[in-house]
């Protein structure tokens, strides 16, 4: 019996040893298989990254360059490849980091190198891919527009197949969709590697962190894409006609707008509490301050350029003033020519390129944030209505999500926009100062070359500036006097010929109210209120009171020759009665050596002008005039006449000697 027990124990021990060895072999084989699968997963990640990068380079270099040769050029081709260079750059940097370590996928250190490389580029990967994915919808829209033209699309497919014969590609989206697929594959590949990696591996914790980072990258990119879609939806400015707005009206939109109006009324009356976000209110206020500053600056720059163009258009140096023998006018002419032909045009071009054009672009960029801010207010009103509800329907949950998305988007992006816009404004103001500094330097260099030839170059600086100030003030005074004289001349009332009925009314009103109360209607008046008169242009009225019963001085009580009523004072002008018809000028023969002030002699029989010592000027007739004698001429409104003398022989400035188009000469009321 003891011998049998010993044999059984021995057999059991032997079987246990064999089972242990078999278990160890199976564990080793399983571990080997896991290591092999890990190696295959790592190699798949690296090799697929290399193939992915190669195909992207083929699409952006070879295919894109061949498509750019098409005639006519493809519209929006470059916009399809927007941001893809950033994706290529970050992918090539990832492979470069792996190659620099000079370790192979089978090396135990390779996994750690892979994880460290991915983590170090995670922020760059997210930045590159989120912009590309947000723009990918535009890629599909452009490609679909190409497909609408069959011949064009066939040519594009032919070029794609010729440029990449090793790939069975029949569209651009075959290549351009790869970044969209690639960023989603990173978590799958890293999780596969993690699945086949032993927890005892030193790089396991780092690998787990890398896998979580790749998932977070995708979540961040998806969230950014959703924000961009909301922004693109609401930042656009729609120009709808009244018909389009009426077509869009339905029960849902009417109910929504009614609820918003009701909520606003509750805010104004204090019935409902308004949600306040101090952080957003601060950002919004600063944005509107920036917007006002940008628009004001742009308006000032445009006004500046307009005045500069007006200055350049007045080319005084092209006129000959018969001053050839004097040095100063010649110097001034050469200086002015250089200013108008070279220095100032160059300055204007730089102003438009470096300041005006960026300001216009910045003004256009304001539209998107402004529309989003307005849309946020609408969505906030919708959100306040459903905020207190515990259970939200699907539509109400969508409203809440839309408001939160717009609010979060503005809180994240508006500070960046405000900062960049402010930086651009400061940069443009600095550029504006530099441009004027360069202009002053060019003008100083120009004037120095003529310094010795100018008349006041010998003066000391103090005396020169005193002379310059005195000259400028004197010139400004003379210019102001000239402008005032021209304005007075333009505003001077024009005497119109009266019909017999108007002459009768004039006599009646003058006898009743006096000549100082007589006014003439300058434009037709149509009464719109009680006691208002309907008056035609040219009618004569007498002023009874320069205000109405309420003291409004814009409405005058007038007498229109029997009927009385009110008329706007802005459409009445004081009537100046013409002087008596001047008698025909006697025939005068001026001696050749006379130096008197008499400049012409005119006789109605011969209608000849025997002497003219002053240059004449041409004007346009403002009204029709019919000659009442052979010493006058007839004229129609708008006809050009040449004024020979601006007064008659008695010196009366209300009559002028003129020559009409037919060569006939005579007197006209000025």
**Can you give the three-state secondary structure of 218-277, one letter per residue?**
HHHHHHHHHHHHHHHHHCCCCCCCHHHHHHHCCHHHHHHHHHHHHHHHHHHHCCCCCCCC
User: 429 and 515 share a domain?
Assistant: no
Alpha-carbon distance 184 to 221, whole Å?
A: 10
In this structure, is residue 415 part of a structural domain?
yes
In this structure, is residue 600 part of a structural domain?
no
User: 219 and 367 share a domain?
Assistant: no
pTM: 0.55
Q: Which of 39-48, 94-103, 325-334 has the lowest mean pLDDT?
A: 325-334
* pLDDT at 288 (0 to 100): 92
Q: Indicate the residue among 235, 267, 298 that finishes a domain.
A: 235
Q: How many CA atoms lie within 13 A of 235 on its CB side?
A: 16
Q: Indicate the residue among 574, 601, 631 that finishes a domain.
A: 574
Q: Which of 60-69, 314-323, 375-384 has the lowest mean pLDDT?
A: 314-323
654's CB contacts (< 8 A; 6+ apart) are 495, 578, 579, 669, 670
More confident position, 69 or 264: 69
* pLDDT at 488 (0 to 100): 65
Indicate which CATH number applies to the domain containing 382: 1.20.1270.60
Answer whether 659's CB lies under 8 Å from 665's CB: yes
User: 412 and 539 share a domain?
Assistant: no
Answer whether 535's CB lies under 8 Å from 550's CB: no
Residue 524: pLDDT over 80: yes
Segment 51-74 mean pLDDT: 90
Alpha helices in 58-172 (DSSP H): 64-67, 77-80, 84-100, 108-120, 122-147, 150-163
Segment 378-396 mean pLDDT: 81
Residues 571-601 have pLDDT tens digits of 888 887 654 444 444 333 333 343 333 333 3
Instruction: Determine the structural domain holding residue 631 and report its residue range.
Output: 618-669
* pLDDT at 415 (0 to 100): 93
User: 341 and 230 share a domain?
Assistant: no
230's CB contacts (< 8 A; 6+ apart) are 402, 405, 406, 409
User: 513 and 438 share a domain?
Assistant: no
Alpha-carbon distance 366 to 369, whole Å?
A: 6
Q: How many CA atoms lie within 13 A of 641 on its CB side?
A: 29
Q: Indicate the residue among 542, 574, 606 that finishes a domain.
A: 574
User: 513 and 448 share a domain?
Assistant: no
Q: How many domains does the chain have?
A: 4
User: 168 and 75 share a domain?
Assistant: yes
Closest CA to 648 of 579, 569, 553: 579
Indicate which CATH number applies to the domain containing 657: 2.30.30.40
In this structure, is residue 146 part of a structural domain?
yes
* pLDDT at 514 (0 to 100): 84
Q: Which of 283-287, 464-468, 579-583, 584-588 has the lowest mean pLDDT?
A: 584-588
User: 132 and 182 share a domain?
Assistant: yes
* pLDDT at 302 (0 to 100): 93
User: 418 and 334 share a domain?
Assistant: yes
In this structure, is residue 460 part of a structural domain?
no
More confident position, 197 or 434: 434
User: 438 and 290 share a domain?
Assistant: yes
Residues 337-382 have pLDDT tens digits of 888 888 999 999 999 999 999 999 999 999 889 988 988 888 888 8
In this structure, is residue 474 part of a structural domain?
no
User: 329 and 181 share a domain?
Assistant: no
3-state per-residue secondary structure call for 54-66: HHHHHHHHHHHHH
**Distance, C-alpha 67 to centroid of its chain:** 32
Residue 322: pLDDT over 60: no
In this structure, is residue 74 part of a structural domain?
yes
User: 101 and 215 share a domain?
Assistant: yes
* pLDDT at 602 (0 to 100): 38
- Residue located via tokens 């490389």: 117
The model's confidence at residue 1, banded by pLDDT at 50, 70 and 90, is low
Indicate which CATH number applies to the domain containing 187: 1.20.900.10
In this structure, is residue 464 part of a structural domain?
no
In this structure, is residue 282 part of a structural domain?
yes
Residues 11-42 have pLDDT tens digits of 878 778 777 787 777 777 777 888 888 888 88
């Amino acid at each position: 019996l003891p011998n049998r027990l010993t044999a059984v124990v021995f057999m059991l021990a032997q079987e246990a040893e064999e089972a242990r060895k078999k278990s160890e072999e199976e564990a080793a084989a399983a571990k080997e298989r896991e290591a092999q699968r890990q190696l295959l997963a790592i190699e798949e990640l690296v090799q697929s990254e290399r193939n992915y990068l190669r195909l992207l380079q083929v699409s952006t270099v070879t295919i894109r360059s061949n498509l750019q040769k098409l005639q006519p050029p493809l519209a929006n081709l470059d916009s399809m490849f927007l941001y893809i260079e950033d994706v290529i750059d970050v992918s090539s940097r990832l492979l470069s980091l792996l190659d620099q370590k000079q370790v192979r996928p089978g090396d135990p250190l390779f996994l750690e190198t892979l994880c460290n490389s991915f983590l170090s580029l995670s922020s760059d990967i997210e930045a590159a891919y989120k912009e590309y994915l947000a723009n990918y919808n535009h890629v599909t829209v452009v490609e679909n527009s190409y497909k609408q033209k069959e011949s064009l699309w066939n040519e594009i497919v032919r070029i794609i197949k010729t440029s990449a014969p090793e790939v069975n590609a029949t569209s651009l989206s075959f290549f351009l969709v790869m970044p969209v697929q690639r960023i989603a594959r990173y978590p799958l590949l890293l999780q596969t590697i993690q699945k086949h990696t032993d927890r005892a591996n030193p790089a396991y914790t780092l690998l787990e962190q890398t896998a979580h980072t790749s998932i977070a990258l995708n979540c961040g990119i998806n969230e950014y894409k959703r924000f961009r879609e909301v922004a693109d939806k609401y930042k656009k400015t729609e120009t709808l006609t009244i018909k389009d707005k009426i077509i869009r009206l339905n029960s849902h939109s009417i109910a929504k707008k009614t609820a918003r109006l009701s909520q606003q009324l509750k805010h104004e009356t204090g019935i409902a509490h308004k949600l306040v976000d101090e952080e957003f209110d601060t950002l919004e206020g600063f944005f509107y301050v920036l917007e006002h500053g940008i628009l004001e600056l742009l308006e000032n720059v445009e006004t500046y350029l307009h005045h500069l163009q007006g200055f350049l258009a007045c080319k005084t140096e092209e006129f000959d003033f018969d001053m050839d023998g004097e040095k100063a006018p010649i110097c001034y002419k050469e200086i002015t020519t250089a200013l108008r032909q070279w220095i100032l045009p160059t300055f204007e071009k730089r102003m438009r390129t470096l300041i005006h054009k960026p300001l216009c672009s910045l003004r256009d960029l304001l539209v998107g944030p402004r529309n989003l801010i307005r849309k946020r207010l609408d969505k906030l009103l919708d959100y306040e209505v459903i905020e207190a509800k515990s259970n939200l329907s699907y539509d109400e949950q969508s409203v809440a999500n839309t408001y939160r998305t717009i609010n979060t988007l503005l809180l994240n992006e508006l500070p960046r926009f405000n900062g960049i816009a402010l930086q651009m404004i400061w940069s443009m103001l600095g550029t504006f100062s530099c441009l004027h500094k360069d202009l002053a330097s060019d003008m100083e260099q120009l004037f120095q070359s003529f310094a010795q030839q100018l008349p006041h170059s010998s003066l000391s600086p103090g005396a020169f500036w005193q002379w310059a100030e005195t000259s400028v003030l004197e010139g400004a005074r003379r210019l102001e006097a000239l402008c005032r004289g021209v304005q007075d001349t333009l505003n001077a009332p024009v005497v119109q010929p009266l019909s017999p009925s108007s002459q009768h009314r004039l006599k009646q009103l003058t006898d009743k109210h006096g000549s100082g109360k007589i006014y003439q209607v300058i434009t037709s008046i149509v009464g719109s209120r009680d006691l208002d008169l309907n008056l035609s242009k040219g009618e004569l009225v007498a002023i009874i009171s320069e205000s109405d019963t309420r003291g409004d001085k814009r409405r005058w009580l007038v007498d229109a020759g029997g009927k009385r009523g009110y008329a706007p004072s802005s459409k009445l002008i004081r009537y100046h009665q013409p002087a008596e018809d001047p008698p025909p000028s006697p025939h005068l023969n001026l001696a050749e050596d006379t130096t008197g002030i008499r400049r012409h002699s005119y006789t109605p029989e011969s209608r000849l002008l025997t002497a003219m010592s002053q240059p004449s000027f041409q004007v346009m007739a403002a009204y029709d005039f019919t000659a009442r004698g052979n010493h006058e001429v007839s004229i129609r409104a708008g006809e050009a006449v040449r004024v020979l003398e601006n007064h008659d022989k008695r010196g009366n400035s209300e009559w002028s000697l003129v020559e009409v188009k037919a060569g006939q000469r005579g007197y006209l009321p000025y």
